[in-house]
A and B are shown apart, each in its own frame.
Chain A
Amino acid sequence: MNDTSLPDAAPHDTRPLVLSLSGITKRFGPLTANDHIDLDIRAGEIVALLGENGAGKTTLMSILFGHYVADEGTVHIADADGQLAPLPGGSAEAALKAGIGMVHQHFALAENLTGFENILLGTLPLWSLAPRRGAARSKIERLMAESGLAADLDVPVAQLSVGEQQRIEILKALYRDVRVLILDEPTAVLTPQEADGLAATVRALAGKGLAVIFISHKLHEVLALCERVVVLRGGAKVADRPTAGSNRASLAELMVGRAIPPRERPPSTPGAPILSLRAVDVGAPTQRDRLEGASLEVRMGEIVGIAGVSGNGQGALAALVAGLAGAHAGEVTINGAPVTRADPAARIAARVGRIPEDRHRDGTIGALSVAENYVLETIAAPENQGAGILKRAAIRVRAAQAIAAYDVRCPGPDAAIRALSGGNMQKVVLARVLEREPLLVLAHQPTRGLDIGATTDVHRRLLAARARGAGVLLISEDLDELFALSDRIAVVHAGHLSPAMESEGLDVRTVGLMMAGHAADEAA
């Protein structure tokens, strides 16, 4: 391995150090999650932290943020005078006070409070709320104007889209005058325009001396935004080098430890329509995430992508196809048969394979085993039961086969699925859905939060389903993913679904503008 022998980033850098981790080691039982990691970050630096799920990024950030205590090693952070002082371990309060802010991939917002209240939460003593609200408000509005992070501050967070919730999270960190800002997958749910806006914000903030740790799986963003990249693999630091001179392929290879084959979408001839929507309404008019007069056709052997910022109607579309919702108006057919009621079991019987957006809440049952989750949808099938008695041995055998076929990293079929990483959990869902050779596959944000290895795997499986002749409805906020996989792309905004456009020759910027509400001709 010659990566580590490369020169470290700019040893002659004169900017002051704000954060210095040395020899950080953390073990969970037999697993070494962090193995003697050293990391120095200077004021105004934007550093990418890369690594597969399980590489130790989250553990390292949790140690920095006081959620875990390192077994070995020290964290030093600059105080107000720029002097490095040790940061007491295991105290989130101390980390916050020292100026470390983090925007988590899974938001930490109080859903019943407004965005404004969430930003203020924990920053003011209760009795002085009223007098300082005005000042806080103007500070937040200034931050919003500077950063371009627009969000409705005055409605409960639960009513905001995922994208808006994340913007509130970023504002919350900015509001606390952080010195080190950690962004965990910050652009996963933003439109390209919003992501550009965020990048500009991050650059501007860095220009003022903020140190930024940027965690992302989108390597082109990392290359465009960050000046230095740190790669973790298997708990150890395998590279720490300037981004200049790196490219996507080399970074991906560093992360995974092997070369990543490029994705290929061979041409295919679509067959008969498998899913057809004609002027369909889903969800009450008062609902935020609803569809109005949506028409769409997914044919066998093609992947149709749905682009859009979440909360604009793709949730309603997914609920309709998954069987959680019915259509109020219009006509829906699956494989030629009309679909009327909300009935998940009927969709499964109609050979619709459904990959839900939220694998923790909808896709898996954490306390049940991998094997039990694998047979969740087919428990009543004769291969899983006889006379109401579970065929436990047969279930275990087939689950073990699926674990091998889908390369699920887990202790075995009897392990509780909640002990698995997100990527491995998703592999179990994929195995459950795809092993039944569905005619239609609903993939709702199938790679959200997954690393490159797992994402590649999901993409390969979806393309294989397409090659087999299944129609795939891919709902994603990741435009790279949509353009790489989809034969046609439709955009959803404010409940309206655009006609599906051939993805070949389609401009990413056009789709981005349509996601923001501009009409297709206007956008072009």
Chain B
Amino acid sequence: MIRFIPRERTPVWLTVAVPVGAGLVALLLTSIPLMLAGAPVLEALVLMAKGAAGNGFALAETLTRATPLIFTGLAAAVAFRAKLWNIGAEGQLYAGALATVAVGAGLIEAPAYVLVPLVLIAAALAGAALLLVPVLFKTRFGADEVVVTLLMNFIVLLFVQMMLEGPMKDEMGMGWPQSAPVLDEATLPKLVMGLRLHWGLVLAVLAASGLHVFINRTVWGFRIRAVGENARAARYAGLPVGKAMALVGLISGGLAGLAGASEVAGLKGYLTSDLSPGFGYAGIVVATLANLSPLGVIPSAIFIAGVFVGADSMSRAIGVSNYLADLVVAFSLLSVLVGGLLTRFRIRFVRRETA
């Protein structure tokens, strides 16, 4: 018989060991379908690791993929800290991407040191504005933000498709539903010549550090934590619960919007309706794996990105489906949720005594 005994405090090493262990368990669990597919398990896992970080090029590709995941992971982490269940990072990412091309693809001509910040601000504002709506619905009318943010994703994606087929369609795009490219002055420069890695990664790391400081060191960060942990007591203590929620909405939406800007202005150069393969949703896994810690989001996003990149390369090499990557990500989420039990409870195996 298994017994769960509540812990009075969680040892520090466990908060690190649990997500790391969860990642490893997820890889182990993935060996089962690999075996079923008849693939050599050990070789496949080694290929996956090599594909994710085997050489400089692979590592750069993983970091490139991690960049939007850091932004969306932060968006989920800050919102979930306040118990604002923002499932709409995908839509906010597209809103940010749309704002990026709206501002950066010829509307304004300015030198890079003006245009790049302008583009980023526009994207953050677009994402923030999009999330503010469900937050106000929640605080004013008690509308469930899970439903509203989730459904808004589809609305935004359809809106983007409409814009790409209509007013924002690139006249030089040979009929493809894509936007005009952003100007060179609005483009985030590459970090290393010849690689796809761009300055978006630096921004993402700065955002994570900034959020860490904000949450832990500022008055508003304190209020957000207080509201998230116990809104009733926060209200009793006279804290501005509604304003704190609105602020969380602005920050979370803004970060997701920056993910869109970073992808368009840093990587793709223009907007298509398949810009994101679900970065918004994967951000939830990233944040959960990071235990909602802003700094933890960085390694967590790199791990998830590595899984995607590594599985891609492995599946090509030995001819199994790259859906395995989704499987690893799903297993990671499940493992970390189970692992969360370990941080809150001590688990004892007890021999069932006969009565």
Residues of chain A touching chain B, judged by Cβ–Cβ distance below 8 Å, are 28-29, 68-69, 88-90, 94, 322-324, 343-348, 354, 356, 361-368, 372, 376-377, 379-380, 384-385, 388-390, 392, 415-416, 419
Q: Which residues of B contact A343 (CB under 8 A)?
A: 238
A362-B233 contact given A388-B218, A390-B219, CB 8 Å threshold? yes
> Is there an interface contact between A389 and B217, defined as CB atoms closer than 8 Å?
yes
> Is there an interface contact between B229 and A365, defined as CB atoms closer than 8 Å?
yes
B65 within 8 A of A: no
Q: Which residue of B lies closest to A346 (CB)?
A: B238
> Is there an interface contact between B233 and A365, defined as CB atoms closer than 8 Å?
yes
A380-B219 contact given A347-B238, A419-B8, CB 8 Å threshold? yes
> Is there an interface contact between A344 and B235, defined as CB atoms closer than 8 Å?
yes
A390-B222 contact given A362-B232, A366-B230, A367-B229, CB 8 Å threshold? yes
Q: Which of these, B5, B218, B220, B225, contacts A368 with CB under 8 Å?
A: B225
With A and B bound together, what is the CA distance between A385 and B220 in angstroms? Answer: 11
Q: Which residues of A contact B27 (CB under 8 A)?
A: none
With A and B bound together, what is the CA distance between A328 and B168 in angstroms? Answer: 55
Q: Which residues of A contact B232 (CB under 8 A)?
A: 361-362
A376-B226 contact given A347-B238, A388-B220, CB 8 Å threshold? yes
Q: Which residues of B contact A384 (CB under 8 A)?
A: 219
**Interface hits, B216-243 → A, CB 8 Å:** 217-220, 222-223, 225-226, 229-230, 232-240
Interface Cβ pair total, 8 Å cutoff: 86
A368-B226 contact given A324-B235, A324-B236, A354-B236, CB 8 Å threshold? yes
Q: Which residue of B lies closest to A97 (CB)?
A: B355
> Is there an interface contact between A88 and B218, defined as CB atoms closer than 8 Å?
no
16 further A-B pairs in the complex, CB-CB below 8 A; given A368-B229, A379-B239: A94-B355, A344-B238, A345-B238, A348-B237, A356-B236, A362-B236, A365-B230, A365-B233, A365-B234, A367-B225, A376-B239, A377-B238, A388-B218, A389-B217, A392-B217, A419-B8
> Is there an interface contact between A361 and B233, defined as CB atoms closer than 8 Å?
yes
> Is there an interface contact between B9 and A416, defined as CB atoms closer than 8 Å?
yes
Q: Which of these, B5, B222, B225, B230, contacts A361 with CB under 8 Å?
A: B230
B55 within 8 A of A: no
B140 within 8 A of A: no
**Interface hits, B228-262 → A, CB 8 Å:** 229-230, 232-240
Q: Which residues of B contact A389 (CB under 8 A)?
A: 217-219
> Is there an interface contact between B219 and A90, defined as CB atoms closer than 8 Å?
no
Output the least CB separation between A486 and chain B (Å): 24
Interface size on B, residues (CB 8 A): 28
B3 within 8 A of A: yes
With A and B bound together, what is the CA distance between A324 and B236 in angstroms? Answer: 7
With A and B bound together, what is the CA distance between A322 and B235 in angstroms? Answer: 11
* Most chain A CB within a 10 A radius of its CB, from B218, B219, B229, B236: B236
> Is there an interface contact between B219 and A385, defined as CB atoms closer than 8 Å?
yes
Q: Which of these, B9, B217, B235, B353, contacts A88 with CB under 8 Å?
A: B353
29 sampled A-B residue pairs with Cβ under 8 A: A29-B8, A68-B5, A90-B1, A94-B355, A323-B238, A343-B238, A344-B237, A344-B238, A345-B240, A347-B238, A364-B230, A365-B226, A365-B229, A366-B230, A367-B229, A368-B225, A368-B226, A368-B229, A372-B222, A376-B226, A376-B234, A376-B237, A379-B219, A379-B223, A384-B219, A385-B218, A388-B220, A389-B217, A390-B219
Output the least CB separation between B123 and chain A (Å): 25
A88-B238 contact given A365-B233, A385-B219, CB 8 Å threshold? no
Q: Which residues of A contact B222 (CB under 8 A)?
A: 372, 379, 390
Q: Which residue of A lies closest to B8 (CB)?
A: A419
Q: Which residue of A lies closest to B222 (CB)?
A: A379
Q: Which residues of A contact B229 (CB under 8 A)?
A: 365-368
Q: Which residues of A contact B226 (CB under 8 A)?
A: 365, 368, 372, 376
> Is there an interface contact between B350 and A69, defined as CB atoms closer than 8 Å?
yes
Q: Which residues of B contact A372 (CB under 8 A)?
A: 222, 226
> Is there an interface contact between A90 and B218, defined as CB atoms closer than 8 Å?
no
With A and B bound together, what is the CA distance between A343 and B217 in angstroms? Answer: 26
Q: Which of these, A28, A363, A385, A392, contacts B8 with CB under 8 Å?
A: A28
Q: Which residues of B contact A419 (CB under 8 A)?
A: 8-9
A88-B236 contact given A380-B219, A388-B219, CB 8 Å threshold? no
With A and B bound together, what is the CA distance between A415 and B8 in angstroms? Answer: 11
Q: Which residue of A lies closest to B354 (CB)?
A: A88
6 A-B pairs with least C-beta separation? A345-B238, A344-B238, A367-B229, A365-B230, A376-B237, A88-B353
Q: Which residues of A contact B233 (CB under 8 A)?
A: 361-365, 376
With A and B bound together, what is the CA distance between A220 and B237 in angstroms? Answer: 37
**Interface hits, B59-109 → A, CB 8 Å:** none
A69-B3 contact given A367-B229, A372-B222, A388-B218, CB 8 Å threshold? yes
Q: Which residue of A lies closest to B348 (CB)?
A: A69
With A and B bound together, what is the CA distance between A208 and B61 in angstroms? Answer: 79
Output the least CB separation between B349 and chain A (Å): 12
Q: Which residues of A contact B219 (CB under 8 A)?
A: 379-380, 384-385, 388-390
**Interface hits, B6-47 → A, CB 8 Å:** 8-9
> Is there an interface contact between B218 and A322, defined as CB atoms closer than 8 Å?
no
Q: Which of these, A363, A385, A388, A416, contacts B236 with CB under 8 Å?
A: A363
> Is there an interface contact between A348 and B238, defined as CB atoms closer than 8 Å?
yes
> Is there an interface contact between A89 and B230, defined as CB atoms closer than 8 Å?
no
Output the least CB separation between B214 and chain A (Å): 10
Output the least CB separation between A354 and chain B (Å): 7
Q: Which residue of A lies closest to B353 (CB)?
A: A88
Q: Which residues of A contact B235 (CB under 8 A)?
A: 324, 344
**Interface hits, B181-230 → A, CB 8 Å:** 217-220, 222-223, 225-226, 229-230
Output the least CB separation between A418 and chain B (Å): 9
Output the least CB separation between A118 and chain B (Å): 24
Output the least CB separation between A279 and chain B (Å): 27
Q: Which residues of B contact A388 (CB under 8 A)?
A: 218-220
With A and B bound together, what is the CA distance between A102 and B65 in angstroms? Answer: 57
Q: Which residues of B contact A88 (CB under 8 A)?
A: 353-355
Q: Which residues of B contact A362 (CB under 8 A)?
A: 232-233, 236
Q: Which residues of A contact B240 (CB under 8 A)?
A: 345
Q: Which residues of B contact A29 (CB under 8 A)?
A: 8
> Is there an interface contact between B353 and A89, defined as CB atoms closer than 8 Å?
yes
